[in-house]
Structure 1
């Protein structure tokens, strides 16, 4: 909950300090540079996966390129100083994890951002977010009808001039911004609590020893730890200490898979992603993330075992 509050605070400050989001729209839209830039923002905006959701939503709402916003959403939970420090503190004798975890997070973000970018925005983003995004995009990218604003039958030359002219969005009153941020925090907190309740029920009903019983098998250990990461919904800032409790019982690839998959998708994140993505996009994200993490874990086991 504190990290969710940090994320909402960051998005609220961004909404007040840069109401038009002009700097956001200057971020690279390149298929490779976009996700890498978004991932690098994790160093400047340290928040766990829960706190990243409101920040990513604000990036998309203010017109950030899809590749950059998605790269931030999926990679920044691992590429922030708090998570890097916690990973080093938990595994000081396994320096390969300090390299493999950030590199794996960037690789996952690149794959997911590339796949989701092939979907039309109308099939990717939730309707409310899509309308906010279209209101700030220039007319050269979004028509007046798509914005649901403007005059039908307006002079094309006038519309072209309006598209080329720089637009300045007035700064909203601080009380209005704070009210918006408070409502956003309450809505996301409700989804977070609901997801945590489901995760707690699963953790209570599914004995953890069942999942760790196959810890020595190269492939089954990865699958078991991936399943564990989906149901044990913890913050990316502390999941390394949780993994420390069973690190000696599982293969290196399974350990890395646990540390990579949880920050990208787990039970509580499915509800939070609902404010950003449509169900089809969430399903594509989950399936793709599982496959990529499984391949990474297999490669690590081949390398270290």
Structure 2
């Protein structure tokens, strides 16, 4: 009974942390759909393998959403026709680069200036590495089928045929310009209906993810993972696992880490602050709204490897 009460309390805490940011993300995505229904500006974002993810990461400085809220925004970027690398750079880096997270990290660790630089820099490196890794998969193997179909509707005919888009104007000549017809702005009612459906779908997945994370936390005491906090390699691995289990939002994870920062290595501390915003238990369902199975597995494996290497390098530097 005690563990059940603990799991219920943890579930409520995780859900109350994440829901406001999910709502903010859906609102941002809905406003983008209203202001730019065709997404023309999204297709002008850089598609370069390096410049694209870095541009996407830079967008995170202006958006106050954590990893849960970034999922609907990243989905809107992809649906609107933005380059995949740019959208992935935003998805993976913005949860750390947004102003709320930067301020909370500074407030929690004002006496560790190296961390205030290492966390944003590490987030950019992880996002860039994942964007380059996921480029190895064709879009059809990476993105969900429904998302891919919406995305193709917003791409020029020079890139996607009418057959692939499953829509278009019958009888369009081959000499027609490869541009998209202008789309009328949706009404506020349409925007609210679309945003409401998206919020409901994502919220249901978030509830399931928070419930699973709370159950795992209640059954697996974190002391088991903190027991190896002084070992250079095991500490990094242990804190990566702890970040997956705790599943706290990036806006508050620095304050949580402050409670055990003195017990672990610097690389383990940074690993905890880097991996959680990219992948954790509560995020799996939300990321499943973007990626197919291969994309999810590659994201989890790639993020784990990159964060492990960064944590190991920091331990060599700081210990």
TM-fit CA distance, 1:159: 3.4
Provide the C-alpha distance between the structure 2 equivalents of 1:39 and 1:144, rounded to a whole number of angstroms.
Answer: 32
What are structure 1's unaligned runs of at least 5 residues?
none
Q: SS of 2:58's equivalent?
A: helix
Of 158, 178, 181, 1:140 maps to: 158
In the alignment, does 2:66 pair up with 1:48?
A: yes
User: Gaps spanning 5+ residues in structure 2: where?
Assistant: 1-18
Other-structure match for 1:109: 127
RMSD of the alignment, in Å? 1.1
Distance 1:228 1:257 in 2: 10
Q: 1-side partners of 2:25 and 2:227: how far apart?
A: 37
**Matches of 2:58 and 2:181 in 1, distance apart?**
28
Of 241, 252, 257, the residue aligned with 2:255 is 241
Q: Does 1:131 align with 2:145?
A: no
Mapped pair 1:14 → 2:14:
no
Residues in 2 aligned to 1:271 and 1:213: alpha-carbon distance in whole angstroms: 30
Q: Find the counterpart in structure 2 of residue 159 from structure 1.
A: 174
Q: Find the aligned partners of 1:43 and 1:172 in 2 and give their Cα distance.
A: 28
Is residue 312 of structure 2 the alignment partner of residue 293 of structure 1? no
Q: What SS does structure 2 have at the residue aligned with 1:76?
A: helix
After TM superposition, the runs of 4+ consecutive aligned structure 1 residues lying more than 3 A away are: none
Checking the alignment, whether the CA contact within 8 Å between 2:46 and 2:83 is kept in structure 1 is yes
Alignment size in residue pairs: 301
In the alignment, what sits opposite 2:279? 265
Matches of 1:11 and 1:18, distance apart in 2: 10
TM (norm. structure 2) is 0.93
CA contact (8 A) 2:37 2:183 kept: yes
CA–CA distance in structure 2, aligned partners of residues 136 and 286 of structure 1:
29
Aligned ranges 1:66-77 → 2 under 5 Å: 66-77=84-95
- Residues 86-119 of structure 1 show CA distances to partners (whole Å, capped at 9, x for unaligned) of 0000000000001000000000001100111121
| C-alpha displacement of 1:173 | 1.4
